[in-house]
Amino acid sequence: MTATDTIFALASGAGRAAVAVLRLSGPRSADILATLAGRLPQPRMASLRRLRAPGSGEQLDQALVLWFPGPASYTGEDCGELHLHGGPAVVTAVGTALAALGARPAEPGEFTRRAFLNARMDLTAAEGVADLIDAETDAQRRQALRQADGALAALYGGWADRLTKLLAHQEAAIEFAEDDLPTDLGNRAREGAARLGAEIAVHLADGGRGERLRDGLMVAILGAPNAGKSSLLNALAGREAAIVSARAGTTRDVVEVRLILAGVPVTLADTAGLREAADEIEEEGIRRARRKAKEADLVLTVFAADVPPDEGTLAWVRPGAMVLANKADLAPAPAMIGGVVPLAISARSGEGLDTLRASLAEAAARLAGVGDAALLTRPRHRAALTEAAAWLTEAAAAPLPELTSEALRAALRALGRLTGRVGVEEVLDVVFRDFCIGK
């Protein structure tokens, strides 16, 4: 893969369609488009042309052709688009002609990678494009659009500019100590490092909201056998996702369903009942239930209103857990369970389920930070910012100006890896490997 190649890819969905879009980018784009379409159209104006195969002159299709000369294009290179009739035979024939004229099929993410390499976007914006393609919900779409439009780049770029200025002042204090410069430049640099480190620490202390919105939340349903966990799962899912039986221990493994709450993807997991296991299979199911509860973003602890609360489930009544008294159609809910006022529900009759859904949606929006601007969205961001904050702390406390300077320089390198300003070769493959073909 080299940036000197001319690449092409299907940018629309695969299969039979009314219209298929083939994208082209690279130094030979103009020659290839002119050969196929007879001549280049006016830049950024769609022109209806007959596409002909090189050599034979056979008509391949009648298509709209668009020409985007660089650098004012998505990739920063000369680009073109062919809006074809969407039959597979047409797409295949035109793709074969493009290859015959010297273009090659693009690799996943190669168009966006070229846009980054040509300074059309930074790494965080490129990741926003990938998230936008994968967005399932409006909340994910909004977060991805903010990132693709440069919200994170503006924040991190501003920090990098401030850090560059701090480093310049510290370097000046070292290199020109004998000149007529302010005597407190070193103190200013250390104080500025402390302030910037504190801002980054606040940004990091976000509870993982942006990552939760991007990846989705996990909600575990936990409780004793026959507390009605599977019935609750089915009621919330609106379908028979889990087997329901009066026989205790029916659920042996984790059963999951996917929901959308407040624009947040949520995986709801029904788990095996907590009790002394009757056999090794049930024991494994209970072990998985406890592990799922530990990994979950939210735990629904379910008790049956018609029996006393069991000790196994009471152990999971913790801050942040949602306590439910199910089977409220059979008996009144206890006033308190484990020091918490439970929500009375009935998975069978539907009592309290609307209130539960509203509470779950509110919790999902809070945990995922729906509506918050400029949230970090990937472990890569968190790792680089954590490193930068650590170096800034070291810079603020360094006993020698040379050590302050070195720590500031290391912090700047860490921030540079976020946006792609410095030291990014090792992260490029990670950033672009999950893109779809044609983007």
Query: Residues marked as binding for (6S)-5-formyl-5,6,7,8-tetrahydrofolate?
Result: 23, 81, 120, 439
In whole angstroms, what is the distance from residue 40 CA to residue 36 CA?
9
Structure tokens at 111: 């168009």
Using CA of residue 196, residue 197, residue 198, residue 201, what is the dihedral sign? positive
Q: Which residues does the annotation place in the binding site for GTP?
A: 226-231, 245-251, 270-273, 326-329, 346-348
Binding residues for Mg(2+): 230, 251
The DSSP code for 374 is: S
Question: What is the DSSP track for 173-242?
Answer: HHHTTTSS--TTHHHHHHHHHHHHHHHHHHHH-STTHHHHHHH-EEEEEEE-TTSSHHHHHHHHHTS--S
DSSP state of 37: H
Name the residue among 221, 367, 240, 373 with its Cα closest to residue 299.
Answer: 221
Q: Going by C-beta distance under 8 Å and a sequence separation of 6 or more, which residues neighbour residue 31?
A: 101
Annotated binding site, which residues?
23, 81, 120, 226-231, 245-251, 270-273, 326-329, 346-348, 439
Name the 3-class secondary structure at 26. Answer: coil
Q: How far apart are CA 126 and CA 132, in angstroms?
A: 10
Tell me if 119 sits within 8 A of 242, measured CB to CB.
no
Gap between the Cα atoms of 289 and 284, Å rounded: 9
